[in-house]
Each structure stands twice: as C-alpha cells, then as structure tokens.
Structure 1
Amino acid sequence: MEPVVLTAGTALVGAMATDAWQQVREAVVAWWRRVRADGADSLESELAALRDGVVAARDQGDRDTEEALAAVWRLRFQQLLVQQPGTAAGLRALLDEHLLPALPPAEGSEARSVRMRAEAHDSARVYMAARDQHITGS
C-alpha cells in the first residue's frame, strides 16, 4: 500500500474529531469530485455518518473502531489510486494542505509515522532508523 494512502486514511479519520472538520470535509469532497465525480454527493453524507462513529469511538476510548475506520479509508484511497494512478499527487496535496494541519500535534506525528520491516539472513546485520542513527564498534 502506498505510504501516502496509509497516512491519508489515518489523518482523515483523525481530522473527523477536530474543530477543523468542516473545512477538511469540504476539501476532501472537492478533491474527490475532481478525481472521481461519480459518488461525490453520496460521499458527503457518508463522511458525516463516519464522523459520528469516530466521535463516539473517541468518547468511549475505542481505538480499535477508530483504527478499523482508518483502515477502510486506506483501502478506499488505495483503490482510487489503482483505478486512477495520476491521483497520487493530488492525494499528497490534500494530505499536506488539509488533513495533517487539522490534526493536533501529537496525532499529526502519529499519522506521519513510518513503518519499517527488515529481515536478516545468513548472520547479516540490519540497521534501521526513522531518524538519527549512530553505530559504533563492529
């Protein structure tokens, strides 16, 4: 799955619980309308219902539901990018200009998180870092 998709799904669901949601919703619907006009009208009502679910999950401390909703949106964004490969730049702009700025700082950092995976074979070493890394010795 594209990294922009992972971040966008998480950020969209996180933005639903913020005071900036109306502006974010308008930006998401406008972007969706540009890349896929069919379904943009039903998207508005779908986002409103989804927001209610996110707010309720947050009120109950239900991180599993919130993560499941983010996963649904990751899948939708990924399917859209597969169907229309040229939309990745627009999704990145939506993410950078509207979704991430709407999140509180802690959530913005979480949404921008990097997932890394490595495997070592035959006694090989693997060094991974999301920031600075200092390796001494052998």
Structure 2
Amino acid sequence: MLEEQIVTLAASGGAAVVAAMATDAWQTTRDGVVRLFRRQGAEVEGRLDEDAALVATAADAESADAARQALAPGWALKLRTLLAAHPEYAEELRALLPAEGGAPHSVQYNTARDQGRVFGVQNGSIVIHQGQQEA
C-alpha cells in the first residue's frame, strides 16, 4: 500500500472513529477499532472510552463537534502508524467507514403526541394519500 493511500485511509478512519462517538454507531465502531489494534497487541479501549466520554459530556452539539475535530487528528495518526506497520489491515478499516463500503448508519427519532401521526422513512420515499374520512 502506498504511503499516500495510508495517509488518506487513516485520515478517513480517524474522522469516522470520532464521528461515531456518542451515537448509536459507537459500539460497533469501537469494537472494530479495538479489534484492529488488538491484533498487533495494542490496547486502545481506555483511550477510546475517554475520548468518547469527552464527546458525550459536551454541553451542546457545537461543543461535541469541536471535541470531535480536536480528537480526529490523533486517531488518524494512530491508524496511520498501524497501517504503516500492517497494511493488510486496510480492508478491515475500510469496512468501518460508512462511505467506503461499510453499512451507512442512520438514526431517526419520531414522536407523535395528542392524536398526532408520524410517517417516517429512511433511504427511500413515502407517499401518503389521505381522503375524506366518513363519520
């Protein structure tokens, strides 16, 4: 694997790791990263959990995004070092990236109150035809 490809993949991986923090995708992403590093004998669970806690305890979305931006280069560097030593891990890392072959992850929260109705859909479309109701 070329150095340029390693740098690009590591940067994407670092961004994906921190983007998943404090989301429903976190546990899957965390497990994948741990598995990658554990294969070479490195322990990263504590660091992952500390970084995820920084994001999760942010006061608001803007603070969480700032934390993610600050953490991404560190994870990119760790992944770059790992891939430089073990380029065969590249496909496993790519599988963690939603944009590069991993399953895209979506979260949707719907709430209906006071006799309201919710029509939700992801990755598709919905058509509602509502006629007059007979009493």
TM-score (norm 2): 0.60
Equivalent AA in structure 2 for residue 51 of structure 1: A
Larger radius of gyration: 2
In the alignment of these two chains, the number of paired residues is 100
Equivalent AA in structure 2 for residue 61 of structure 1: E
The structure 1 residue matched to 2:72, chosen from 61, 70, 73, is: 70
In structure 2, the residue matched to 1:46 is 47
- Between the two structures, name the one with larger relative contact order (CA 8 Å, sep ≥ 6): 1
In structure 1, the residue matched to 2:104 is 101
Q: 1:8 to 1:14 in 2, by over 3 A?
A: same
In structure 2, the residue matched to 1:23 is 28
Partner of 2:23, secondary structure, is coil
In structure 1, the residue matched to 2:119 is none
Distance in structure 2 (CA, Å) of the matches to 1:87 and 1:58:
36
In structure 2, the residue matched to 1:5 is 10
Segments of 4+ moved more than 6 angstroms: none
Moved more, 49-58 or 8-17: 49-58
Contact 2:55 2:68 in 1 (8 A): yes
Contact 2:37 2:82 in 1 (8 A): no
Distance apart, 1:59 and its partner CA: 2.3
The alignment-based identity, stated in percent, is 36
Contact 2:15 2:72 in 1 (8 A): yes
Distance apart, 1:50 and its partner CA: 0.8
Gaps of 5+ in 1: 105-138
Deviation track 1:39-73 (CA, whole Å, cap 9, x = no partner) reads: 23xx1122111101122347262343321201110
Report the RMSD for the aligned CA atoms in angstroms: 2.6
Partner of 1:101, secondary structure, is coil
